[in-house]
């Protein structure tokens, strides 16, 4: 049975990890929108291969050429009020998955936005005064990566946010350049609401306990936890997101689409 584009998009939104639905969508639109079909196929291929693959740079170049056109296509196709609320969009595996948007616009348009694309990654701007309302939104359960940077968040804001019961899919968190101290970080460690959290950026806060990596001409020369990180692990034991190297000594993957 053939499904129309809206039905297929709903399936993609409900099954965002299933590439087979995305590829079926690409096949269904091949005759009417070959560029979008190609973009989806190549984007999925790119997500499956590493830079050592002989076709990687050829495919990456083609995808990068298609992105601006696809960005325009999406924004023209979405309701004007919704499109105008966005600062930036980005794609993963052929579809819009990342939004950069102010907190007020997100709250005003979330219902429509989450019905248009498999959104799983957010950069939220000007979030501080809206954080309690954001923390209560059920769409948070879809989010895998979240950036709330340079918003003046403090320890109490972190405690408020972590009270949410819908953060269980969150793997990647950027809280850089806020006003977070030791108490806020302890709240993150104690919290049961973020069981999948693997990457945290706390640079530029009152305290940054994460492992520091020092490079010399692109070669890793030194690394280690700062005193604050060592003290936290003495109290809590190993905290995986404090570490930027894996057990083999290689830098961890910090790409928000891959974590």
- What mean pLDDT is predicted for residues 174-201? 96
At 37 the pLDDT is 96
> Is residue 129 over pLDDT 80?
yes
At 178 the pLDDT is 98
- N-terminal to C-terminal alpha carbon distance within the chain: 35
At 48 the pLDDT is 93
Query: What are phi and psi for residue 237, nearest 5 degrees?
Result: 85, -170
Q: In terms of pLDDT, which residue wins out, 177 or 247?
A: 177
At 6 the pLDDT is 87
Mean pLDDT of the chain: 94
pLDDT class of 89 with cuts at 50, 70, 90: very high
- pTM for the whole structure: 0.94
Distances (CA, A) of 169 to 56, 128, 140, 155, 194: 29, 22, 8, 22, 7
């Amino acid at each position: 049975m053939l499904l129309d584009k809206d039905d297929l998009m709903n399936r993609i939104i409900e099954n965002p990890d299933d590439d087979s639905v995305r590829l079926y969508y690409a096949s269904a639109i091949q005759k009417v929108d070959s560029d979008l079909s190609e973009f989806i196929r190549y984007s999925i291929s790119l997500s499956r291969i590493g830079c050592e693959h002989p076709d990687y740079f050829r495919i990456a170049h083609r995808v990068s050429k298609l992105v601006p056109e696809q960005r325009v296509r999406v924004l023209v196709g979405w309701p004007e009020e919704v499109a105008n609320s966005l600062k930036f969009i980005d794609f993963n595996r052929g579809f819009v998955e990342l939004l950069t948007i102010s907190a007020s616009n997100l709250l005003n348009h979330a219902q429509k936005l989450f019905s248009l694309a498999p959104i799983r990654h957010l950069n939220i701007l000007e979030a501080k005064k809206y954080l309690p309302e954001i923390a209560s939104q059920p769409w948070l359960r879809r989010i895998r990566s979240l950036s709330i940077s340079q918003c003046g968040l403090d320890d109490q804001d972190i405690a408020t946010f972590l009270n949410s019961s819908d953060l269980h899919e969150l793997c990647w968190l950027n809280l850089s350049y806020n006003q977070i101290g030791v108490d806020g970080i302890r709240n993150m460690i104690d919290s049961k609401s973020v069981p999948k959290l693997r990457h945290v950026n706390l640079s530029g806060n009152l305290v940054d306990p994460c492992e520091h990596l020092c490079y010399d001409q692109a070669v890793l020369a030194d690394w280690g936890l700062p005193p604050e990180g060592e003290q936290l692990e003495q109290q809590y034991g190993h905290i995986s997101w404090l570490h930027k190297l894996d057990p083999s000594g290689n830098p961890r993957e910090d790409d928000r689409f891959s974590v």
